[in-house]
Amino acid sequence: MRRTLGRSTSLAVVAATAIFVACDESPVALDSADQALAVPALDAYAGNPVIRSASGSAHLQTQDSPNFLEPGWRVFTFNAIQRQDGTVTGNMQYDVHDQGDPAVTHRVKGKVFCMADLGNDMIAIGAEGTQRTPYDQPPIFAPFGTPLLPPAVLPDDWGIFFVVRDNGEGAGASGPDQITGVVHTNLANVNGVCLLGENHPLAGLAEGFLNDVEAGDIQVGP
């Protein structure tokens, strides 16, 4: 809707819960048109058609949301397609702006490699982290000294996932489109989220972390 302005279930859910609560990493968009992400072609390959797609770009204020640790605003963009053989391709980018600061203070990019239908019109999207800037940014530590975010050079097993909901278009929309924060974890946990699919406990957890999009559009389709 457009508006103006391989692990077990328990492991994936526990990891998601801990990082959803601790992480102030949410949505993603581009600063200018020349930074636009390459959108995968949605035409069907012979014998391997697209069975699911999701894409979006949106703006979100955080000062009134309990899902973010610091006030400011977030912009995001992503695209993902899944083919009949199960392969998923796409890209995501997530920008953080401090309150009142027009400059991007933090950026994460990733290559989408999995997605799953969680039911209730929610889609989980998983990506492999490829870049974090500014490059001199130190790691951020969660309680007990466990790294929550790595330094700018992301490790090979660093993964990202988030959940989106397309609430429809125009007069037929049930409300604004929604997105969770971006969850940073390892690739095994991201794979676990994608493999569990519809009706797993993450679906109920994600409901509490969805944020209304203030400007932009999220679209999910077959």
From 18-32, 67-81, 155-169, 194-208, the region with the lowest mean pLDDT: 18-32
Specify whether the CB–CB gap between 133 and 144 falls below 8 A: no
Residue 39 lies in a domain: no
Average pLDDT over residues 40-49: 65
Residue 208 lies in a domain: yes
From 25-34, 51-60, 95-104, the region with the lowest mean pLDDT: 25-34
From 27-31, 154-158, 208-212, the region with the lowest mean pLDDT: 27-31
Model confidence at 141: pLDDT above 90: no
Residue 162: give the domain boundaries: 9-31+48-221
Task: Give the count of domains, the chain.
Answer: 1
Q: DSSP 3-state assignment of 72?
A: strand
Please tell me the predicted confidence (pLDDT) of residue 22: 39
Of 137, 146, 70, nearest in space to 108 by CA? 137
Residue 173 lies in a domain: yes
Residue 60 lies in a domain: yes
Q: Rounded to the nearest 10 degrees, how much is the dihedral formed by the CA atoms of 58, 59, 65, 68?
A: 90
Distance CA 42, CA 53 (A): 8
Residue 187 lies in a domain: yes
Residue 37 lies in a domain: no
Residue 74 lies in a domain: yes
Please tell me the predicted confidence (pLDDT) of residue 145: 58
Residue 42 lies in a domain: no
Please tell me the predicted confidence (pLDDT) of residue 10: 43
pTM for this structure?
0.72
Model confidence at 69: pLDDT above 70: no
Please tell me the predicted confidence (pLDDT) of residue 208: 85
